[in-house]
Copies of this chain bind each other. A is one copy, B any other.
């Protein structure tokens, strides 16, 4: 049988018959991460930053150690790492704190129709509130963001470039490094949505030179409820917190108060301690394994699967050239939700809908689609089950009269 050295770490798929092709929505969690969360809940269960006793100290240590791990993982310094509820909260923090303050009428904010709503809506809101203009990079015929198209909308008015690193529907990789360089030449700040990138490629913020970058724990083997905002220190320092409360302040007076330094000023109240600690363990997992080898495997799976699915008559694939593990498709004449029930009945877990990216759907001129997302713990056997299910689904829906 084929070897997959990572699979055994994921109890969700080894302990039952489940073909999990929905990692782009939420990845599975390795045993070590599950145990790290349990360790906090079961053995520590104490609040952080103020306790002198052993459990409180250990919890604080693990929480702050995670910040250091995240920093090393993306080549930042701990002061540049803000814990948030998730990528969505991180992207909102930039828009609400930096955006609403520094964007003015006539300024331009560049986004794209590939954006996840969590990358798009915060800036749509800033544009509506400030009178700035939301400018869309035209997508090329495949649905990609290209450098040439980006240059066609970049202007002296561009103040923010908010783009996704990897599309969560089509799986295309944005040429983000070049775009950041071009944006900086116009003195625009760059806000990168790395929610789909961080688990598929090494991300180095110093090489990219991005100003902000956001991602979520739950898509990169970590728990739900925790995410990261990376921000260049010079920006985090000048930004005001949006949420205020316990732990993020220094002096509190009756009518005014002072904040701690960044990143602490952005972490109000009791944070998701267990989830943060779990994220630290997820990063250990990435550090202990070879992300390039993992991604190589994903690409082989994707190529094999795509080649097989393409041969099935009655299937439309929307991202034939995607370089990551996503296959976006529909069974002709069958609504994605009808189709997904078929897959679910056969224990093939994939996602149906607009994937929080309605502008991509509109661009593709469809209501919804199916998305199979392959990850390193998937096997060729998983792919075969998916391919067979797809073939049989086409037959089934044909027989049923769709």
Residues of A within 8 A of B (CB): 11-12, 15, 18, 22, 25-29, 33-34, 37-38, 40-47, 50-56, 85-89, 91-92, 96, 113, 116-122, 124-125, 127-128, 134, 136, 216, 218, 223-226, 242-247, 249, 251-257, 268-275, 337, 340-341, 343-344, 347-353, 355-356, 358-359
Q: Find out whether the CB atom of A272 lies under 8 angstroms from the CB atom of B22.
A: no
* Distance, CA A359 to CA B246, complexed state (A): 12
Q: Find out whether the CB atom of B87 lies under 8 angstroms from the CB atom of A269.
A: yes
10 contacts between A and B (CB under 8 A): A29-B41, A40-B224, A52-B343, A53-B343, A53-B349, A85-B89, A86-B271, A88-B270, A225-B226, A225-B275
| Given known A46-B349, A275-B272, contact A52–B255 (CB-CB < 8 A) | no
| Given known A224-B270, A225-B225, contact A42–B254 (CB-CB < 8 A) | no
Chain B positions within 8 Å of A122 at CB level: 243-245
Q: Find out whether the CB atom of B344 lies under 8 angstroms from the CB atom of A247.
A: no
* Distance, CA A273 to CA B252, complexed state (A): 33
Contact of A50 among B25, B113, B243, B270 (CB under 8 A): B25
Q: Find out whether the CB atom of B118 lies under 8 angstroms from the CB atom of A246.
A: yes
Q: Find out whether the CB atom of B245 lies under 8 angstroms from the CB atom of A121.
A: yes
Task: Give, as a whole number of angstroms, the nearest-CB distance from A120 to chain B.
Answer: 7
**A41 (CB) vs chain B CBs: closest residue:** B34
| Given known A52-B340, A275-B275, contact A270–B116 (CB-CB < 8 A) | no
Q: Find out whether the CB atom of B12 lies under 8 angstroms from the CB atom of A45.
A: yes
Q: Find out whether the CB atom of B359 lies under 8 angstroms from the CB atom of A268.
A: no
Chain B positions within 8 Å of A243 at CB level: 88-89, 92, 96, 122
| Given known A246-B118, A272-B224, contact A136–B52 (CB-CB < 8 A) | no
Chain B positions within 8 Å of A33 at CB level: 41
